[in-house]
Amino acid sequence: MKATKITDGVHWIGANISTNDLFEGIWPIPHGVTINSYVVKGEKIAIIDLVRDWAGASNYLIEELKSLGISLKDVDYFILNHLEPDHTGDLRALYELAGGAEIITSKKGVPLVDAFYGLKDKVRGVSSGDTLDLGGGKVLTFYDAPNVHWPETMVTFDSSTGTLFSCDAFGSFGALKGCLFDDQTSEEDHKFYERESLRYYSNIVGPFSNFVLKAIDAVSSLDIKIIAPSHGLVWRGNPKRIIDRYIAYANYMKDYAEPKITLIWGSMYGNTELMLRSVIQGVASEGVSTEVFRVPQDNISFILASAWESAGIIFGMPTYEYKMYPPMRDVLNHLAQKHTWKKKVFRFGSFGWSGGAQKDFDSMIEKMKWDVLDPLEFQGAPSYEDLDKGFEMGKKLAQEIKVIPRKLK
């Protein structure tokens, strides 16, 4: 494996991961993911962010360093923007192989270096505005980016090339398709990465959206020419594209989202399912698109991504033992934990001898900041009158979605 040159004195030494493992032990990555590590060379050498021993990533990093004529003993600094183990898992082994290298991280990161890897010697904590002079015109500046998405996160900026090493900020799921850079990527593949970056954002970064906006504001005065995140494409052709995308994602938690409805449904014996078609037809009558998921069959990772960008959510679920259909409870737990707020919402569902799902539903969404339409519940199978009501409620929600003011496109 050879390192990939990004710009003068900066190379990518990461790994393309294809695996059946779950990211963070939770999220499926059927299209893989990259773990991006970077080497910056002046008179001294720094590696920014590392890898963990995952699908051969450690061997790739070492071989890519060798392709530059660099051994680990030549490395002067390991710069850790973020201590999560996908970026630092091999720190102890690489640190011992490097010998004299110094570890640089944020001040909040220092105790985590000890906690995760038992390393205390030659560990330096830095603050926003601190610099590291590598010589040869390479001066790195550090900026705290707390809660994007751990409290100790920082970013690193190389002013000589305008390269921002942004760690998890501006990252994406999805392995590379032969191209590392945005300006070498086809528009078709950009659409793929856009979906994967939305899924990454909603699954990983979503609850910290206010901090994302603060971090973007904090680096807005920098002359950024290249964004080099820890996952996904390196943005050198149009870095504004991924910045704008993240601004939009962050604001989906606030006052607006896309004119789209996510419909999430589950049915025990098919009675709730009978209402689906009428509700969807009502939505479609207003020209609003609907993305449909069934639980527990569909994975929450993809449901979160769709719900995050949708202005409206429809839930179809029966009553189960006086409460909600259990798989839907799991969905709501995830939506709440990820701060999927400011949505227009409608719920429908069947019940048998007694209701109860709506009361359970209302208690779970109490703090979700949702605008909820009156529910449609029916005993047993829906009547023709119930189906007509379902059509009208789908139409009503779609009408309300269409008039929500949007600040970004």
Across the chain, what does the average pLDDT equal? Answer: 95
Q: Residue 254 — pLDDT band, cuts 50, 70, 90? A: confident
Full domain range(s) for residue 335: 258-401
Q: Which of 160, 138, 157 is nearest to 218 (CA)?
A: 157
Percent of the chain whose predicted confidence (pLDDT) is above 70: 99
- Regarding whether 226 and 154 lie in a shared domain, the answer is yes
- Regarding whether 313 and 195 lie in a shared domain, the answer is no
CATH number of the CATH domain containing 320: 3.40.50.360
pLDDT tens column, 94-139: 999 999 899 999 999 999 999 999 999 999 999 999 999 999 999 9
- Regarding whether 263 and 244 lie in a shared domain, the answer is no
Flag whether pLDDT at 57 surpasses 90: no
- Regarding whether 118 and 178 lie in a shared domain, the answer is yes
C-beta of residue 370 within 8 angstroms of C-beta of residue 328? no
- CA–CA gap between residue 303 and residue 168 (Å, rounded): 21
Give the mean pLDDT of 57-80.
Answer: 95
- Regarding whether 295 and 354 lie in a shared domain, the answer is yes
Give the mean pLDDT of 242-263.
Answer: 92
pLDDT of amino acid 406: 59
Flag whether pLDDT at 403 surpasses 90: no
DSSP 213-226: HHHHHHTTTS---E
Taking the complete model, does pTM exceed 0.85, yes or no? yes
Flag whether pLDDT at 407 surpasses 60: no
Beta strands 319-320 and 323-324 are antiparallel
- CA–CA gap between residue 109 and residue 100 (Å, rounded): 20
Q: Is residue 409 part of a domain?
A: no
pLDDT tens column, 144-165: 999 999 999 999 999 999 999 9
- Regarding whether 20 and 161 lie in a shared domain, the answer is yes
pLDDT of amino acid 1: 76
- CA–CA gap between residue 361 and residue 114 (Å, rounded): 43
pLDDT of amino acid 409: 41
Domain boundary among 208, 231, 251: 251
Q: Is residue 407 part of a domain?
A: no
Q: Is residue 300 part of a domain?
A: yes
Q: Is residue 233 part of a domain?
A: yes
